[in-house]
Amino acid sequence: MKSWIDDLYRLKETLREGWRRIDIKDPESVTDHSYAVALIAWRLARENGLDERRVLLMALFHDFHEARLGDIPSPEKRIKGMEAVLKAERETEAAQWAGDEDILELLEELRMQESEEARLVGAVDGFEMLLQARRYIEQGYPAAEEFMTSVMASPVAKHPSIAKLLREL
C-alpha cells in the first residue's frame, strides 16, 4: 500500500514536462492533468452510454507510471524509441500494481485502444492538453499554440465526442 501512495504524492509534484519546455511558469502537474481527463472522460462516457467505471479508472491511472518514469514528452519518446518507452511503462505499472490484475488489464486495454472506453480516454487525454494549451495562450504563453495545432492534426480531433466538443468551442 505504501508504494502506490508514495507514487501518488510523487505525481502531485511531477510537472508536465511539455509545458516546462516552453517556459510556462508554474505548469500543471500530472495529477492536475489526470484529474481533468478523468472528469471529462467520465462525463462523456455517461452521455454516450459507456462503462463509466472503466473510463474513470483508465483516466485516473493512465499516467500513474510517470511517478517513477517522469513525464516524457512525445518528441523525447521518439528519440528514446517508442518500444523502449512502452516496455518501461509496462514494467513500471507491473511493479506499481503487482497483484491487481484489474488495473493492469485496464491499462493494457487503454494502451492498445481495444474498446470504445479506451478510445474515449485516449482521445480525452489529447483533448485535455488542447484545453490546457488554450488556457496557457490566454495567460500569455503563445508557444502553447504548437500543442493545440498538434492535437488538431491528430486522430484525437476526429473522435466523435471530441469533434462535437471542438465544434462547440
Per-residue pLDDT at 76: 80
Q: How far is CA 102 from the centre of its chain?
A: 19
With left for phi above 0 and alpha for psi between -120 and 50, is residue 78 left, alpha or beta?
A: alpha
pTM of the predicted structure, to 2 decimals: 0.93
Give the number of other Cβ atoms within 10 Å of residue 167's Cβ: 7
Question: Tell me: the pLDDT tens digits for 32-63?
Answer: 999 999 999 999 999 999 999 999 999 999 99
Please determine, for residue 19, whether its predicted confidence score (pLDDT) is greater than 90. Answer: yes
Domain layout of the chain by residue ranges: 2-168
Tell me if 26 sits within 8 A of 51, measured CB to CB: no
More confident residue, 66 or 1: 66
Q: Please, what is the angle between helix 30-47 and helix 52-61, to 10°?
A: 160
First vs last Cα of the chain: how many Å apart?
41
Please determine, for residue 2, whether its predicted confidence score (pLDDT) is greater than 70. Answer: no
More confident residue, 74 or 30: 30
Question: Tell me: the pLDDT tens digits for 66-89?
Answer: 999 999 887 787 888 889 889 999
Question: Tell me: the pLDDT tens digits for 118-150?
Answer: 999 999 999 999 999 999 999 999 999 999 999
Q: Quote the percentage of the chain above a pLDDT of 90.
A: 86
For domain 2-168, give the CATH number: 1.10.3210.10
